[in-house]
């Protein structure tokens, strides 16, 4: 059960007494849900994508060995990537020992905490919790080797920024986000429900570009307009802008912590008032 008090916003964070927050994250949505619940919102959890995992263990062992031999870096861009890699490493001979010899980078503090819980505490995280900041600040010089283990839908800005620094980076796919048709239908029905001034405002919180892509396949101009759209981070916001019609309302939370989420949601609500 989610402990809302553990993520209660500060006194300076506005309350959201009339918001329905729809969290579109495949996993680990408890903390975000708790932030909205603590601010007075009613929350619907609608994970619009699921993860299709297909790890080539032999190839992964080879790629990790190369990182070790070159003194390179392993970038794990999401908590999902971390969880899947840790499971895969247990199936590789000396996999955990290999990981302990690799320099690891993650995008945010929640990812670093997840790694620390598995005994991998020495993890680089960038000043800002996004891929662009990680690419700019990763302590690697020209010619360094970097392995990015994550989604098949690679973060283009991460590869581009590292390439601009003459760092040799390659992607290793661990999973592929797949649209979850029943959950998308559930979201669509929620947005098509007739508006009622006595019921809460509808808001959709999208946490990854893959969630935006999945949702876009079901949306019409009417359903886009039926809610406020809150993106977590600049990459997801950019993808949202690619799909969002001009008539829709959207805002960005820089990080998924309670204060940032609720402040961004409050600003979005104010912008939607007639």
Residues 232 and 117 in one domain: no
Number of domains within the chain? 2
Residue-level pLDDT at 8: 47
Q: Which of 122, 151, 177 is the last residue of a domain?
A: 177
Residue-level pLDDT at 198: 58
Residues 130 and 86 in one domain: yes
Distance CA 77, CA 177 (A): 14
Residue-level pLDDT at 266: 86
Q: What does DSSP assign to residue 100? A: H
Distance CA 235, CA 264 (A): 16
Q: Which of 143, 177, 211 is the last residue of a domain?
A: 177
CATH (domain of 130): 3.40.50.10090
CB atoms within 10 A of CB 119: 10
Range of the domain at 23: 4-48+180-272
Residue-level pLDDT at 124: 97
Query: CA of 184: how far to CAs of 21, 24, 144, in Å?
Result: 15, 10, 42
Residues 17 and 69 in one domain: no
Residues 170 and 73 in one domain: yes
Q: Which of 154, 177, 200 is the last residue of a domain?
A: 177
Mean pLDDT by 10 residues, the chain (274 residues): 42 63 71 84 89 95 96 94 96 94 91 92 91 92 95 81 93 94 90 70 87 88 86 88 81 83 85 53
Residue-level pLDDT at 132: 85
Residue-level pLDDT at 3: 40
Residues 204 and 192 in one domain: yes
Residue-level pLDDT at 29: 76
Residues 233 and 195 in one domain: yes
Please state the pTM of the whole predicted model: 0.82
Residue-level pLDDT at 196: 64
Reading the block at residue 205, the tokens are 């919180």
Residues 168 and 262 in one domain: no
């Amino acid at each position: 059960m989610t402990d809302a008090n553990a993520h209660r916003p500060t006194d300076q964070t506005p309350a959201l007494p009339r918001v329905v927050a729809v969290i579109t994250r495949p996993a680990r949505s408890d903390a975000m849900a708790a932030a909205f619940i603590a601010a007075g919102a009613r929350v619907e959890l609608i994970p619009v994508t699921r993860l299709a995992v297909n790890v080539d263990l032999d190839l992964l062992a080879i790629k990790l060995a190369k990182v070790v031999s070159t003194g390179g870096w392993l970038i794990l861009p999401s908590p999902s990537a971390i969880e899947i890699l840790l499971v895969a490493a247990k199936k590789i001979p000396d996999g955990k020992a290999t990981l302990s010899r690799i320099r690891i980078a993650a995008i945010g503090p929640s990812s670093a905490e997840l790694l620390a819980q598995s005994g991998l505490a020495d993890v680089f995280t960038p000043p800002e919790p996004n891929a662009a900041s990680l690419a700019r600040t990763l302590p690697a010089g020209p010619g360094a080797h970097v392995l990015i283990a994550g989604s098949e839908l690679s973060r283009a800005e991460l590869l581009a920024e590292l390439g601009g620094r003459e760092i040799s980076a390659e992607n290793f796919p661990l999973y592929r986000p797949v649209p979850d048709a029943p959950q998308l239908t559930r979201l669509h029905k929620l947005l098509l429900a007739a508006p009622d001034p006595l019921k809460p405002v509808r808001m959709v919180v999208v946490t990854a570009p893959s969630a935006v892509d999945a949702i876009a396949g079901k949306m019409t101009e009417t359903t886009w307009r039926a809610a406020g759209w809150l993106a977590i981070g600049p990459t997801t916001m950019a993808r949202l802008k690619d799909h969002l019609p001009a008539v829709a309302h959207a805002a960005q939370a820089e990080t998924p912590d309670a204060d940032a989420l609720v402040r961004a949601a409050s600003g979005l609500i104010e912008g939607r008032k007639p």
